[in-house]
Amino acid sequence: MKRFTLYLFTLIALGLTACQQEVAHEDDSCCAKPVAEGLPDGTGTLAIPAAALTDMSLYNLDSDWQNQRGEELKLQNFQGKVQLVAMVYTHCSYACPRIVADLKRIEMGLEQYKQEDIGIVLVTMDPARDTPARLLQFAESNNLNPKRWTLLTSEQDNIRELAALLNMKYKMELDGEISHSNIISVLNENGEIIHQAEGLGVEPDETVNAIKSLLQKI
């Protein structure tokens, strides 16, 4: 009998704890972003402390991303280098090939610089179809040099957040196409937007000059 009572009380206690844990867990799990914290597991290759991020740095976004090789990374990994950023989706038949062409024209204007000095980042708006494997295929078929070009995917929510900061507007249409604005952004080494070119087929000179003046400062 006594044992049974003990058993009962244990059960009750367990029941109560489970109830409380649930509540506590909810408190902890929310609001995970956007927080600028160090890489959580300490295994990151970047030793840049979060405090080094400036107020307007896009790298304040703490979301998790994957590149075309399926490697996990944070936007902070792009810190320290001038980056050209644009958003695409690989099933796109019109605007996206054009924006890649525009980026290549900008790249041609920067031939005097080393591959490592400038990065080019393509972010997909279509994570459901643009898997890392698909992005790799897209990179290869467009001859995108992996030393310079990174193709990124993440959860839709994280992508929409980054898009909001890049002033990108996009909308999924029912036919599988995505209507979107076309913007090429130049980020300085701190991840701040210092120049944006809107539209397709824009003359690359302004963007090239913006990058050159940045690289002279570094």
Partner 1 sequence: MFRRLLTLVLVIGACSIAQAQKSTPTDMVPVKGGTFVPLYGSNNQTVTVQSFRMDRYPVTNAQYEDFLAKYPKWRKSEVKALFADAGYLKHWASPLGVGPAADKLKDSPVINVSWFAAKAYCECQGKRLPTVNEWEFAALASETKKDASSEPSFYQRSLDWYSQPNPKYLPPVQSAFKNYYGLYGMIGLVWEWTSDFNSALIVGESRQNASLDRQLFCGAGSTGASDVKNYVAFMRYAFRSSLKANYTVANLGFRCVQDVPVQTTAKK
Instruction: Choose the binding region for partner 1 from 52-60, 109-117, 136-144, 209-217 (rule: CB under 8 A).
Output: 52-60
For residue 116, what are the CA distances in angstroms to 49, 120, 148, 171?
A: 22, 10, 7, 34
Q: What are phi and psi of 77, to 5 degrees?
A: -60, -20
Residue with tokens 């927080």, as numbered in its chain: 35
51 in contact with partner 1 (CB under 8 A): no
181 in contact with partner 1 (CB under 8 A): yes
50 in contact with partner 1 (CB under 8 A): no
Q: Is 96 within any annotated ligand binding site? A: yes
Q: In terms of Cα–Cα distance, which of 26, 25, 218 is closest to 118? A: 218
DSSP-assigned letter for residue 77 = G
25 in contact with partner 1 (CB under 8 A): no
171 in contact with partner 1 (CB under 8 A): yes
Q: Give min distance, CB of 145 to partner 1, in A.
A: 28
Question: 3-class SS at 26?
Answer: helix
Rg for the chain, CA atoms, rounded: 22
Q: What are phi and psi of 3, to 5 degrees?
A: -60, -40
Q: Give min distance, CB of 43 to partner 1, in A.
A: 25
Instruction: Choose the binding region for partner 1 from 17-25, 43-51, 63-71, 146-154 (rule: CB under 8 A).
Output: 17-25
Cβ-Cβ contacts under 8 Å for 184 (sequence gap 6 or more):
84, 85, 86, 99, 102, 103, 106, 196, 197, 202, 207
List the structure tokens of 22.
């649930």
- Contact code string over 75-104 relative to partner 1, x by CB under 8 A: -------------------xx---------
Instruction: Choose the binding region for partner 1 from 78-86, 110-118, 178-186, 209-217 (rule: CB under 8 A).
Output: 178-186
Q: Is 30 within any annotated ligand binding site? A: no
| Element at 198 (helix H, strand E) | strand 193-198
30 in contact with partner 1 (CB under 8 A): yes
Sign of CA dihedral 209, 215, 216, 218: positive
Residues found near partner 1 in the complex (CB under 8 A): 1, 4-5, 8, 11-12, 15-16, 18-19, 22, 26, 30-36, 55-58, 60, 94-95, 160-161, 163-165, 167-175, 177, 179-183, 198-200
Which residues make up each annotated binding site?
A: 92, 96, 180
